[in-house]
């Protein structure tokens, strides 16, 4: 009877297209044979971009001669290829080498979207092998998945593991609900496909979480639906447009929920409003709790930037809020996310180091307008305690100390110096569209 049940289970798995070996474990041979030819090696000469250590790009490290190595996959037989934006950012020349190592092409960058880390390339060719595209919607934690790419330049390498989680939000990646896996992803895997056991592409490998720059069991992939949506916009318009409400929210705790007279911790409380922005013009106030956006419940505030971004700029939207326990609906006209995020790659002249172990620089007037603030200090480098042990990140923009908004570098230094040494110091920061308090271990000049 046990043998019969096992045989029936194996038949069911086979009927669902799930490749199984004699032991009942996944068999990746067929997957590699059918999908391997559609995975390409990408050589980007002149690449200058590089991600940080914690959210290190899987293929963003560039050797000293200025050559970045990564992966991609072909999505059309006439030569359209998906890869990561960070791999080709700043590249003067991009070469695509096919899996058979017999053909290579010079590629044109159709477009690259840094916020989603998706780029679309085009080579002049016909009859190319194409990847089988699937959906990430049916993925669940525990499902087997595989990655094909060129780790450390070793072309057409397959590694396997399981889905660890879905819908992951990362501090500097507001617009992508990442798929987390324990698949071995290393420098050079960037831009390659993440596949299910049916051989369908369900994601594009993009990031690793590592203190060393190598694989440590935590990898992140962009859902294929996100990558394809971005690629279609890049192909049709050359850029990606995203909606913007001009606000920042913070997660509700049970204590905050009670203080704002809401029944649950679902939703997010507004902690910052862009002056003259869409939400402020619609009548929103700091302290309002956002419950719904266009009728869609906002259960997790981390989802709000993605929900708003998916709303076409210029369109009408309805935002349901709770104000002092009273439910209201605000009508607003959606704005557009600025074309480029704040750059914090190379510290310009005038940046100052030393305060709280951070290298800080003043943001420009254009960046102030983009964030809806009068003044801010961008964190360009974190080099020493106490900041090194905190949650402060490179690229954060400090706009306040405690409950005081800052208007100059001198005021910021004075507030820090006047803080009691050894006591936690709360900095109010803008991180993309989000706003939050970051507590440093200690402050003061004592």
Q: Would you call 381 exposed, middle or buried from its count of C-beta atoms within 10 A (0-12, 13-18, 19+)?
A: middle
Residue appearing with tokens 């009670």: 258
Whether the Cβ atoms of residue 266 and residue 253 lie closer than 8 Å to each other: no
Whether the Cβ atoms of residue 87 and residue 95 lie closer than 8 Å to each other: no
DSSP string computed for 211-279: SSSS--S-EEEEEHHHHHHHHHHHHHHSS---EE-SEEEEEPPHHHHHHTT-SSS-SEEEEEE-TT-HH
Angle at 434 between CA 252 and CA 354, to 5 degrees: 110
As a whole number of angstroms, the distance between CA 248 and CA 225 comes to: 26
Residue appearing with tokens 């750059």: 343
As a whole number of angstroms, the distance between CA 244 and CA 315 comes to: 11
Angle at 118 between CA 113 and CA 124, to 5 degrees: 100
> Which pair of tokens denotes residue 416?
């820090």
User: How far, CA to CA in Å, does 156 sit from each of 148, 243, 397?
Assistant: 6, 38, 41
User: How far, CA to CA in Å, does 138 sit from each of 40, 62, 116, 263, 364?
Assistant: 26, 35, 21, 32, 44
Q: Which of 61, 113, 117, 396 is catalytic?
A: 117
Whether the Cβ atoms of residue 203 and residue 134 lie closer than 8 Å to each other: no
As a whole number of angstroms, the distance between CA 24 and CA 19 comes to: 9
Q: Which of 55, 190, 210, 219 is catalytic?
A: 190
**Beta partners for residue 160, in sequence order:** 146
Query: Does 419 qualify as catalytic in the annotation?
Result: no
Residues 6+ apart with CB under 8 A from 54: 209, 210, 211
Q: Which of 61, 86, 219, 390 is catalytic?
A: 86
As a whole number of angstroms, the distance between CA 345 and CA 193 comes to: 28
Phi, psi angle pair for 163, to nearest 5°: -75, 125
Residues 6+ apart with CB under 8 A from 175: 115, 116, 226, 242, 305, 306, 309
Residue appearing with tokens 């390498």: 157
The catalytic residues are 86, 117, 190
């Amino acid at each position: 009877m046990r043998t019969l049940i096992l045989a029936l289970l194996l038949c069911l798995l086979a009927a669902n297209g799930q490749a199984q070996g004699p032991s009942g474990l996944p068999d990746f041979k067929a997957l590699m044979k059918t999908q391997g030819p559609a995975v390409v090696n990408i050589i980007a000469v002149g690449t200058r971009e590089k991600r940080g250590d914690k959210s290190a790009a899987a293929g963003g490290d560039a050797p000293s001669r200025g050559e970045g190595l990564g992966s991609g996959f072909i999505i059309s037989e006439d030569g359209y290829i998906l890869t990561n934006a960070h791999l080709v950012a700043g590249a003067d020349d991009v070469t695509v080498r096919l899996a058979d190592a017999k053909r290579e092409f010079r590629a044109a960058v159709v477009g690259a979207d840094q916020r989603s880390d998706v780029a679309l390339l085009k080579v002049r060719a016909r009859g190319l092998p194409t990847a089988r595209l699937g959906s990430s919607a049916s993925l669940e934690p525990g499902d087997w998945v595989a990655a094909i790419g060129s780790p450390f330049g070793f072309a057409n390498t397959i590694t396997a593991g399981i889905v660890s989680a879905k819908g992951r939000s990362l501090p500097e990646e507001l617009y992508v609900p990442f798929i987390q896996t324990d698949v071995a992803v290393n420098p050079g895997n960037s831009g390659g496909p993440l596949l299910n056991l049916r051989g369908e592409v369900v994601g594009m490998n993009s990031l690793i979480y590592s203190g060393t720059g190598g694989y440590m069991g935590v990898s992140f992939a962009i859902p294929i639906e996100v990558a394809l949506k971005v690629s279609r916009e890049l192909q049709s318009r050359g850029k990606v447009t995203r909606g913007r409400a001009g606000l920042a929210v913070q997660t509700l705790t049970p204590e905050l929920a009670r203080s704002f007279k809401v029944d649950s911790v679902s939703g997010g409380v507004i902690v910052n409003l862009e002056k003259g922005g869409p939400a402020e013009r619609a009548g929103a106030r700091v302290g309002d709790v956002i419950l719904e956006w266009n009728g869609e419940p906002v259960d997790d505030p981390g989802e709000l930037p993605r929900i708003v971004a998916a709303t076409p700029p210029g369109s009408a939207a309805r935002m349901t809020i709770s104000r002092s326990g009273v439910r209201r609906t605000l009508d607003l006209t959606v704005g557009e996310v600025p074309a480029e995020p704040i750059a914090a790659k190379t510290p310009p002249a005038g940046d100052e180091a030393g305060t709280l172990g951070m290298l800080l620089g003043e943001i420009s007037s254009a960046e102030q307008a983009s964030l809806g603030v009068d003044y801010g200090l961008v964190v360009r480098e974190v080099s020493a305690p106490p900041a090194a042990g905190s949650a402060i990140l490179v690229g954060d923009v400090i706009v306040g100390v405690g409950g005081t908004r800052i208007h100059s570098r001198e005021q910021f230094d004075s507030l820090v110096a006047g803080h009691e040494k050894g006591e936690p110091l709360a900095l109010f920061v803008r991180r993309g569209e989000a706003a939050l308090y970051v507590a440093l271990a200690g402050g003061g000049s004592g």
